[in-house]
Amino acid sequence: MWDFSTDPEFQKELDWMAAFVREEVEPLDLLFPAGGAPYDVRDEAARAILRPLQQQVKERGLWACHLGPELGGKGYGQLRLALMNEILGRSYWAPTVFGTAAPDTGNAEILAMFGTDEQKRRYLQPLLDGDIVSAYSMTEPHAGADPKEFTCRARRDGDGWVIDGEKWFTSNARYAEFLIVMAVTDPEARPHERMSMFVVPADTPGIEIKRNVATMAERDELDEGIHGYIRYDAVRVPTDALLGGPGQGFAVAQARLGGGRVHHAMRTVGQCRRAFDMMCERALSRRTQGERLADKQAVQELIADSWIELEQYRLLVLQTAWTIDNLPHGAARTQIAMCKVAMAKVYHDIVRRAVHLHGSLGTTHETPLAAMWMSVPSLALADGPTEVHKTTIAKQKLREYTPAPGLFPSEHLPPKRAAARERYAAVLKEHGR
């Protein structure tokens, strides 16, 4: 059955969320715009505004909706979550207000899936309650897209493990209570069994944040960088710091990254919609040569192209969410990769057009478009570069095909035409053809 409608009861929740984000949450974006602000649990002024908002979300039953009921969420499923995330994506702070901010969502997921009871008690519960934040430490300075190149090591030593190496772009490391670190534990094993995952308290001796790296969306001179360049120097952790079994690092990482990518794709629909809304308002408000920008065919083309791309992308995201909800685990793998690739391209194209239609104003920091434009490159890189996901899509699709049986393609027309003639030979003969 195909059905593109939203249940009216759930639509009421979406309407409440939209108004709440616009009126109550967006002011936080304006008051605390710095890169890591939503994650800085030590900023008392921001927390004093944040906490009552989080409380309202909890009372409404909309807190941490990515989680199943066993972890305190509503268990809405991915399709409803997609509709919610479209609203949350419009605001930088909204995911924190609703308990769905990355990377804590992904970290909570793997703690729930692979964590011991003690790890869940110590890390998962405060994370779900929004009391602490966490970081995910996988990428290394010399290698990112291909984890098989990683060299950060963890060696068995007495009753624990000792971690040595460097990690790069560990987002929010400076605010994190703990880090989830991927390290090589058995370099001789098969590539996908070489690494393990560790839960490491951020105050463990030997952890040094060499630099808080700023992307172009953050400002170095204002110390806004949030991506930790970290040295792990003989960092000793107990045996029970392992998350999952030894050699399970890849499996744990995969479990985390799929959900993270699709949630990001859902939020990006909201960001694109915000840029599109701005584009339309501008086209109707600005005049040139005696008419509105909206009356110019070239401008209409920008708007039409943007809407077509946004609707195509949105339907892909919703269908992916539906697949995750309804088909066996792993069935959405290709679709998630498609969302990741499409996200970066559609976002780039729509934000670029919105900036352009706003003329000189579009190039300034006086509209939300500046922050959007500066995060364009990150979208094509974080959680894996576009090329890697395109490779996944192509490989998966190619598995559904086989080589041509002979010298010519199976769609070669001469033999097909001959077979068609043979099949209907009697009829053709009867009609003298």
Ligand X SMILES: Cc1cc2nc3c(=O)[nH]c(=O)nc-3n(C[C@H](O)[C@H](O)[C@H](O)COP(=O)(O)OP(=O)(O)OC[C@H]3O[C@@H](n4cnc5c(N)ncnc54)[C@H](O)[C@@H]3O)c2cc1C
Residue 169 contacts ligand X per CB under 6 A: yes
- Residues 196 to 215: which contact ligand X by CB under 6 A? 215
Q: State residue 292 phi and psi, 5-degree precision.
A: -75, 155
What residues have CB less than 8 Å from 403, skipping those under 6 apart?
Answer: none
143 secondary structure, DSSP code:
B
Tally of residues, the chain? 433
Residue with tokens 């934040």: 133
78 near ligand X, judged by CB under 6 A: no
User: Does the footprint of ligand X cover residue 145 (CB under 6 A)?
Assistant: yes
Is residue 179 a contact point for ligand X (CB under 6 A)? no
Q: Would you say 79 or 200 has its CB closer to ligand X?
A: 200
Are residues 155 and 162 in contact, defined by beta-carbon separation less than 8 angstroms? yes
Between 264 and 358, name the residue whose CB sits nearer to ligand X. 264
Measured over all CA atoms, what is the biggest interatomic distance in the chain, rounded to whole angstroms?
92
CA 320 to chain centre: 13
**Of 224 and 325, CB closest to ligand X:** 224
CB within 8 Å of 356: residues ≥ 6 apart = 302, 362
Residue with smaller CB distance to ligand X, 38 or 103: 103
In the set 90, 109, 382, 392, which binds ligand X (CB under 6 A)?
382
> Between residues 82 and 344, which has the closer beta carbon with respect to ligand X?
344
Rounded least distance, CB 149 to ligand X, Å: 8
130 forms part of the interface with ligand X (CB under 6 A): no
- By CB under 6 A, is residue 171 in contact with ligand X? yes
Least distance (Å) between residue 154 CB and ligand X: 16
Q: In whole angstroms, what is the distance from residue 173 CA to residue 229 CA? A: 9
CB of 27 to ligand X, least distance (A): 25
Q: 212-231 mask for ligand X (x: CB under 6 A)?
A: ---x-----------x----
According to DSSP, the residues that pair with 209 across neighbouring strands are 230
* 258 φ/ψ angles, rounded to the nearest 5 degrees: -60, -55
Part in contact with ligand X (CB under 6 A); list of ranges 28-36, 40-48, 164-172, 354-362:
164-172
Which residue type, as a one-letter code, is found at position 408? F
Interacting span for ligand X (CB under 6 A) from 242-250, 361-369, 385-393, 416-424: 385-393
Contact 76, 17 (CB under 8 A): no
Both tokens of residue 230?
């970290």
Q: What is the contact surface with ligand X in residues (CB under 6 A)?
A: 103, 136-139, 144-145, 169-171, 215, 227, 378, 381-385, 387-388, 391
